[in-house]
Structure 1
């Protein structure tokens, strides 16, 4: 079974909005371009952090086209596929291939909590709608359904299902997947505050939220692990951890976009029903980001 060439740090890029909360394609291209210039290995367009489900159908196509244009083949562009129905997800992944995406990160159908058979059927039908390599997204806390090891084994006959973004908060899942499925699937760490554990256990990449604010530090963590410099990796991870915990909170999108804004990389605007952070929570996140900015490990070059 052929694998993708996806490896490394793939930020779940933000979708930018203007003052009237319309999609700002120029600003979205700007944040994506900065990430690529900072050395990320791939880009996830319109994942959770990219507010996929806050976008209208035509906006999703426009954002994806803008991201593909901005990246211009420098790194893979993987688009989130997050829809209410299997039919809509199939339509979107077909369009994504035509627009020029390099792959798709496919989520369970939104809102409805499927049975195991329904979840497998959803993934099979969406995969059949295009030739794109697919990253399955397992995030039980957010989507109230877990992609079981048994389901992964049954889905192994679908050739375009290549990668698993594992966002269960239990790092044991990665070893269980590798033990059960061997090298059939690539595994990516999908939750920022167990990223190092995931990479040490065999994950070949990291889909990250806080990379939007601190891309060079995220890449330094990846590089240290790949080179076996574990003391360095632990030092970066311990410095980073207060911020990485934000990725596991219910307001992760607002927190990540605020972090991005504090670092001068984007706007904190989010679409309703999300609202920008306020009060003590906003002050706490700003303090955390500023502390991280001002106390970066000496091994990370200043920007």
Structure 2
């Protein structure tokens, strides 16, 4: 099993200007992320625009990604679905193709259909029976509250529930409570949401971070320095990247990584599928400018 620490960015899904998945570009995205120094990679997450993909495309991207990465780094496959049998089937596929873990949110569909705490527990238990480590994604998108006692129960009673990506409001407070109440059962508490709360989350005990794929090589030193006990240096390193991280998180979302990858020659297009709008040209230009000040690998990888 991999060490559940370090930086685990989410792979964007490239589309061509006609809206088709760019298969060749996907391989280049994965290679670029590995060259940036990613500890591992997560695919088919919200920042991969998984909600814009067909089931057939998901299958193609799962196979392609795991075969292309070929064990160079571990890969986490996102499998969230409201229907438990579908989440279980996706977990089996990920396991059979060699994924290191799966990631899933609590069951939800739209704004009003949400799993109860017991239904959430049962879905994670069913996926756990597949026999692959699970990352619990505690994200506002689901609209499902995952209280600390529920997460601790899941960690203690479902063997495969090992990782926790906490990206709810006041994530540091929840991480601190989760670690205090769960003890050794909380194997890998992780930060998310593009590292916008990374420093506070590390202080609360996070051991890793799931960021975007934009500036992996620039954020990774923050985690390395913090793990080495060099808090002042880690704080300085975080302050250096924070203008871009803030702009990405508050203004761009998942569109930033694709804009940088297009600028750096990794992919040919930063297109998203309708109804997602392209970045405003000024917002996109600022993202490129803020990133360029950091000289990240992504802006020179394909040139």
Q: Do Structure 1 and Structure 2 share a fold, with TM-score over 0.5?
A: yes
The answer on whether the counterparts of 1:213 and 1:265 sit within 8 Å (CA) in structure 2 is: no
For the 8 Å contact 1:65–1:100, the answer to whether it is kept is no
Aligned alpha-carbon RMSD (Å): 2.2
Q: What's the CA shift for 1:127?
A: 2.1
1:63-86 CA distance string (max 9 Å, x none): 111111221111110001122322
Q: What are the Cα deviations for residues 247-289 of structure 1, in whole angstroms up to 9, with x where unaligned?
A: 54485122332243334433321122212113xxx41242143
For structure 1, the residue ranges without an aligned partner over 5 or more in a row are none
Query: CA 1:109 to 1:76, structure 2 compared with 1: closer, same or farther past 3 Å?
Result: same
| Residue in 2 that maps onto 1:172 | 173
Shift of residue 179 of structure 1? 0.6
State the shift of 1:36 in Å.
Answer: 0.8
Offset of residue 296 of structure 1? 5.9
Taking the aligned partners of 1:37 and 1:254, their CA distance within structure 2 comes to 21
Contact 2:244 2:290 in 1 (8 A): no
| Structure-1-length-normalised TM-score | 0.88
* Contact 1:134 1:160 (C-alpha < 8 Å) held by counterparts: yes
Structure 2 SS opposite 1:269: coil
Matched residue, 2:131: 131
Contact (CA 8 Å) 1:153, 1:181: kept in 2 or not?
yes
Change (3 A) 1:134 1:247: farther
Alignment partners' CA distance in 1, 2:169 and 2:9: 19
Q: Does 1:208 align with 2:208?
A: no
Determine the structure 1 residue equivalent to 2:229.
228
Deviation at 1:233, TM superposition (A): 1.6
Is the partner of 1:23 in helix, strand or coil?
A: coil
| 1:223-267 CA-partner distances (Å, limit 9, x unpaired) | 221222223222221222232234544851223322433344333
For 1:133 and 1:35, how far apart are their aligned partners in 2? 22
| TM superposition outliers: structure 1 runs of 4+ over 6 Å | none
Q: Which has the higher contact order (CA 8 A, sep 6+)?
A: 2
Counterparts of 1:143-158 in structure 2 under 5 Å? 143-155=142-154, 156-158=156-158
- How many residue pairs get aligned? The number is 290
Do the aligned partners of residues 163 and 4 (structure 1) sit closer, same or farther apart at CA in structure 2, a change above 3 Å counting?
Answer: farther
Specify the alignment match of 1:159 in structure 2. Answer: 159
Which region of structure 1 is more displaced relative to structure 2, 80-89 or 253-262? 253-262
Alignment gaps of 5+ in structure 2: none
